[in-house]
Structure formats: structure tokens, C-alpha cells
């Protein structure tokens, strides 16, 4: 992976798309700089649980953690996209909320909280959004079992 730098963060390329690896402690500060760089729209915010795939390709300077917050930004002025990937550890599964910079992330952060159990500090209304209020666990985590319906075969012993 060829790397470069932007706002003191590692800038990589993935299939011709720009990916910025932002440390968790500078997540909001970097976003704030990117807003000034005309990345005015946060198109998407999601997360990935790399529990069963720890050996993914990352730039050397980045320490892989279990979770990754993936933010897709769009600059309408320059017609470019930029993707932010931030490593979030399992022990401290939380990150600052981008709500003040991009109010549209409110629902997306709730979805990530609901599906991955990552909390967003400073989020105004961090509750489950898709699952019922009393649901246990976070379905998109890799250790959340998918569940299956037992199939009984005709004539088999069990």
C-alpha cells in the first residue's frame, strides 16, 4: 500500500480511492480540518468488526484494532471523496461523536452503536435505532451468532 500524508495522518489508496487513517484521539480534530477542506457532506458512517480477520492490509504505522470506524466524506466543490478509517479497540469501544460537525451522522452513529456496541461520546440521543430497545447484544459483531433453524431430515435418527 503506497502511502502519503494529509493533516499528519497516513493517506493511502485503495482501488484508486483515497483512504485516510486517522488516530482515534485526533478523529474530531481531523474532521474539523476536512470540513474546511470543503468536505462538507458526510455521506456515510459505518464500522467493521475485524475480530476474525486481524491480518488485514494496513500501512505500517497503523496498529490494527478490533473495530474500525469508516467515514465516507464528499466534497461537492472538488467532486472528490475521502474515506476515513479509525481504529477502535475492543477494550475501549468508544469514539467522539461527529454530530456537531455533521448533524446527518446522528442516525448513522446510532446504527453503529446498535449494531456494533461502539459508543459515541457526546452523541445527543444514543439509543438503539433498528433493533428493539430490549435487545441483547450487537448483531453485526462477528462473535454474535447468526442462529439457525434446525432441519430435520426424513428417516434420520434424530
Partner 1 sequence: MSDLLSTVVSAGTFEGNQELRSRSELTAKEVMREVGAVLRMSEADVALLAEVEADPGEDQTMIINMGPQHPSTHGVLRLMLELKGETVLRCKPIIGYLHTGMEKTGESLTFMQGGTNVTRMDYASPLNNELVFSMATEKLLGIDGDIPERAVWMRMLLSEMNRMSSHLLFMASNGMDIGAVSMMLYGWREREEVLRFFQKVTGLRMNHNFIRPGGVAADLPAGWRDDVLEILEMLGPRLDEYDTLMTGQPIWRERLQGVGVITRDEAIALGATGPILRSTGLAWDLRRDMPYLNYKDVDFDVIVGSYGDAFDRYAIRLAEIRESMRIVRQILDKMPGGDYRIQNKKVTPPPRARIDESMEALIHHFKIFTEGFKVPEGEVYVAIESPRGEIGCYIASDGSATPYRMHVRAPSFVNVQALPHMMRGGLVADAVAVISSVDPVLGEVDR
Q: Does 132 bind partner 1 (CB under 8 A)?
A: yes
Task: Please tell me whether residue 38 binds partner 1 under the rule CB under 8 A.
Answer: no
Taking Cα atoms as reference points, which of 52, 49, 62 lies closest to residue 19? 62
Candidates 7, 17, 33, 35; CA nearest to 80 is: 17
Task: Give the residue with the Cβ less far from partner 1, 30 or 66.
Answer: 66
Distance in Å, CB of 14 to partner 1, minimum? 6
Of residues 6, 8, 21, the one with CA closest to residue 58: 21
Of residues 13 through 32, those in contact with partner 1 by CB under 8 A are 14-15, 17, 19
Choose among 48, 49, 41: nearest CA to 105. Answer: 41
53 binds partner 1 (CB under 8 A): yes
Which of 4, 8, 121, 124 lies at the binding interface for partner 1 (CB under 8 A)? Answer: 124
Count of residues of this chain found to bind partner 1 when the rule CB under 8 A is applied:
57
Site string for partner 1, 66-85 (x = CB under 8 A): ----x-x---x--x-x-x--
Whose Cβ is closer to partner 1: residue 127's or residue 158's? 127
Q: Does 12 bind partner 1 (CB under 8 A)?
A: no
- CA-to-CA distance for 11 and 152, rounded, in angstroms? 53
Least distance CB 95 / partner 1 (angstroms): 13
Amino acid at each position: 500500500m503506497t502511502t502519503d500524508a494529509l493533516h499528519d495522518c497516513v493517506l493511502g489508496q485503495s482501488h484508486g480511492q483515497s483512504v485516510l487513517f486517522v488516530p482515534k484521539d485526533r478523529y474530531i480534530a481531523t474532521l474539523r480540518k476536512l470540513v474546511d477542506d470543503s468536505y462538507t457532506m458526510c455521506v456515510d458512517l459505518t464500522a467493521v468488526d475485524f475480530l476474525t480477520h486481524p491480518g488485514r492490509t494496513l500501512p505500517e504505522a497503523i496498529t490494527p484494532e478490533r473495530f474500525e470506524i469508516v467515514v465516507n466524506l464528499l466534497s461537492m466543490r472538488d467532486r472528490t471523496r475521502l474515506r476515513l478509517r479509525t481504529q477502535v479497540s475492543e477494550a475501549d469501544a468508544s469514539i467522539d461523536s461527529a454530530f456537531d460537525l455533521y448533524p446527518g451522522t446522528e442516525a448513522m452513529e446510532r446504527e453503529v452503536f446498535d449494531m456494533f456496541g461502539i459508543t459515541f461520546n457526546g452523541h445527543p440521543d444514543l439509543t438503539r435505532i433498528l433493533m428493539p430497545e430490549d435487545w441483547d447484544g450487537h448483531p453485526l459483531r462477528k462473535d454474535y451468532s447468526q442462529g439457525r433453524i434446525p432441519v430435520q431430515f426424513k428417516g434420520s435418527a434424530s
